[in-house]
Structure 1
Amino acid sequence: MSFVIFTDLDGTLLDHASYSYAPAKPALALLHKHDIPLILASSKTAFEIAPLRDELGFAHCPAIVENGAGLLPAHADPESLAGAQSDYQRIRTILDAMPADLRALFAGFGDWSVEEIAQNTGLPKDNAALAARRLFSEPGLFSGNAHQKQRFESYIEERGLKARQGGRYYTLSFGATKADQMRGILKQQSLAAPPVKSIALGDAANDIEMLETADFGVIISNPAGKPLPPLSGEDEGRIMRADNPGPTGWNEAILNHIGGPATA
């Protein structure tokens, strides 16, 4: 049986406060030992994820970036994706052509300086600079009322865009999700090494589709966030909840599913 692991980062593989993955090192070692692919799936940009993917030793695996709006191929340099007509540039073109009264209601990363992104997100300035290098989606803040939001969404949907409200940001993209990207990756993996079983781990609402799409899902508790509601698959045990938060719970879940301890 072949496994493919899909994991969220902040609050899941990475500690919510320190961003460390140290408690997950035994499970990461086990994945390397058995050549099990680890697919990072996050709201982070390709420029944020690529260095971490290299550090973890999984540069040979694709990564799901910007909440599923895009994919960073295996071994790819994010610079190679920054073409003249990226999805992000298309999004900004649609925004810039919007009637002024609607446009004034949305402020996205492209409207903010790196200093403002750092202030709004709480990221250090260097990390905020990487978060600003978007290729597939535009997160931001919408300041209008319900009627104005309906007009805004009608306008962008006529032009192929989708809007999704996350825990903090209102994000515009062309509609792909973490689960969509997961299905595509699994199709390729199954062609190479059938049968393949998928395991997904996440802690937040934007992970629900991924957790429910996987063969096995693990909800990592996040004391800093709102607990996820009961998910489809929990009653029959296909989706489980980790006892511990962050990388500690992640480590235990992987060792329990894959089998046997490993040393970092």
Structure 2
Amino acid sequence: MRLIVFTDLDGTLLDHGDYSYSAAMPALQALQAQEIPLILASSKTAAEIAPLHAELGLGDWPIIVENGAQRVTPGANMHDRSAYERLRRVLFELPTELRASYRGFGDMTDQEVAEITGLPPEGARLARLRNFTEPGVWSGDEAGLTAFLAALDTRGVAARRGGRFLTLSFGGTKAQQMAGIMVDLGRDTAIALGDAPNDTEMLETADYGVIIRNDHGQGIPALPGETTGTIIRSEAPGPAGWNACVLTLLDRLGYSKRADRHG
């Protein structure tokens, strides 16, 4: 077994309130000791994730960015915005009446993004450094939205509706990126952790999924894997739950015994 771990960030590895991962340190250290790759997978941009990736000492392990639109390797093509620029061109080429009700991050200032997301100014600046996707707000009616999405679809642009934003991209999901990374790194068994509905596909794709308790959002409904034991739920929220479940799975899969033998 060659294990790999994929994790969402906010509300999962990072605490909902202070964004700390300190409660997960025992499990993080266990993964490092066993040389098990930890892959960060988030809706955040590469610019937003890179400082945390470096702080965690994850080396050149890839990052799944912008909700699975792509995977990037730190230092390699981290600032290539060609796909994002192509996406923006598609938007501008639409008839004005179709796109008039859509306002993306590229149409906003850092301050406007800070106000709409609750991010601090620097966080908003990094959130606007997009490489692959365009989150935005739709202010029109449903009929207009249907026409807007249909026009985008004919141009190869997909749209995903979240709680707050309508996000445009040329496709890609966390689960698809997981599969590619496992091939690239020669790994055959995956653990995935997440706390929100947009993590569901990732959790169900992994060999072992962990639903982290979410006390601040809608959370994840019951999944089929919970009846077979391939998906478990944490008792504690955030990094405390992350820590307990990762250590439990490492023990179940025999990694604790390996550590004992090499201690």
**Residues 1:26 and 2:26 are matched in the alignment:** yes
Report if aligned partners of 2:104, 2:136 keep a CA contact under 8 Å in 1.
Answer: yes
Find the counterpart in structure 1 of residue 128 from structure 2: 132
Measured against aligned partners, the alpha-carbon deviations of 1:53-76 in whole angstroms (never above 9, x if no partner) come to 000011221000000011112553
**Residues 1:89 and 2:85 are matched in the alignment:** yes
Report if aligned partners of 1:69, 1:176 keep a CA contact under 8 Å in 2.
Answer: yes
Give the aligned residue type for 2:105.
F
**Residues 1:107 and 2:103 are matched in the alignment:** yes
Identity of aligned residues (%): 52
Find the counterpart in structure 1 of residue 17 from structure 2: 17
Which whole-Å CA distance do the structure 2 matches of 1:50 and 1:76 have between them?
Answer: 12
Give the aligned residue type for 1:101.
E
Cα distance, 1:101 vs structure 2: 1.4
Give the aligned residue type for 1:87.
A
For 1:86-235, what aligned pairs fall within 5 Å after superposition? 86-190=82-186, 196-235=188-227
Report if aligned partners of 2:160, 2:167 keep a CA contact under 8 Å in 1.
Answer: yes
Q: Which structure has more RCO (C-alpha within 8 Å, separation ≥ 6)?
A: 1
Find the counterpart in structure 2 of residue 240 from structure 1: 232
Find the counterpart in structure 2 of residue 47 from structure 1: 47
> The residue matched to 2:213 in structure 1 has which SS?
coil
- Structure 1 length normalisation: TM-score? 0.93
Report if aligned partners of 1:50, 1:77 keep a CA contact under 8 Å in 2.
Answer: no
When the two structures are aligned, how many residues end up with a matched partner?
254
**Residues 1:35 and 2:27 are matched in the alignment:** no
Which whole-Å CA distance do the structure 1 matches of 2:54 and 2:97 have between them?
Answer: 44
Unaligned ranges ≥5, structure 2: none
Give the aligned residue type for 2:73.
P
Which whole-Å CA distance do the structure 1 matches of 2:217 and 2:198 have between them?
Answer: 12
Runs of 4+ in structure 1 over 4 Å off: none
- Structure 2 length normalisation: TM-score? 0.93
Cα distance, 1:171 vs structure 2: 0.3
